[in-house]
């Protein structure tokens, strides 16, 4: 396709859905600095975890699911197993540090375990050196249990 046609299609794509615009913004402006982008997503997750309503578990579950949707959206944008491992590991760490009763609530426990399995599966697809580095962090989190 000619470049003018590709540009026209991209502009047309950007007009409609919010996710299309966000993905296009990531690809055009932030894909070059993946580490900085991951750091920004982590800060956003921490800010959202700071706002979790812990007065009732129902509201906490809703907010945690929202945080997970945000994390998964950014994982899809990046499309890298390393980023998926890093973000899910950070999510699990923040969830564990939140002080919510993970083992007393079935839904929270299942959500935590599911994300842990996804993170571990992504971790297995990484290079051995990266696996070693991330496994140290995984072991640190498991010690907190």
Only one residue has tokens 């590709």, namely: 6
Per-residue model confidence as pLDDT tens digits over 87-120: 999 999 999 888 888 888 899 999 999 999 999 9
Structure tokens at 145: 């249990």
pLDDT (0 to 100) of residue 144: 63
- Domain segments of the chain as ranges: 33-144
Structure tokens at 66: 């929202």
Report pLDDT digits (tens) over 26-71: 888 888 899 999 999 999 999 999 999 888 889 999 999 999 999 9
Helix %, strand %, coil % of the chain (to 5): 80, 0, 20
Phi-psi sector, 99: left (phi>0), alpha (psi -120 to 50), beta: left
On whether the CB atoms of residues 24 and 9 are closer than 8 A, the answer is no
What predicted TM-score, i.e. pTM, was given to this entire model? 0.85
Sign of the torsion formed by the C-alpha atoms of 140, 120, 44 and 105: negative
Tens of pLDDT, residues 17-26? 888 888 878 8
């Amino acid at each position: 396709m000619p470049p003018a046609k590709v540009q026209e299609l991209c502009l047309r794509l950007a007009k409609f859905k919010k996710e299309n615009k966000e993905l296009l913004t990531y690809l055009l402006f932030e894909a070059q600095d993946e580490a900085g982008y991951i750091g920004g997503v982590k800060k956003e997750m921490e800010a959202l975890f700071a706002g979790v309503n812990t007065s009732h578990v129902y509201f906490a579950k809703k907010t945690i699911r929202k945080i997970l949707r945000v994390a998964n959206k950014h994982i899809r944008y990046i499309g890298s197993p390393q980023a998926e491992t890093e973000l899910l590991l950070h999510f699990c760490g923040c969830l564990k540090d939140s002080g919510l009763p993970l083992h007393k609530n079935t839904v929270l426990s299942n959500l935590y375990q599911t994300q842990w399995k996804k993170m571990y599966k992504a971790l297995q697809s990484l290079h051995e050196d990266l696996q070693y580095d991330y496994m140290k962090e995984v072991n640190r989190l498991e010690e907190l249990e």
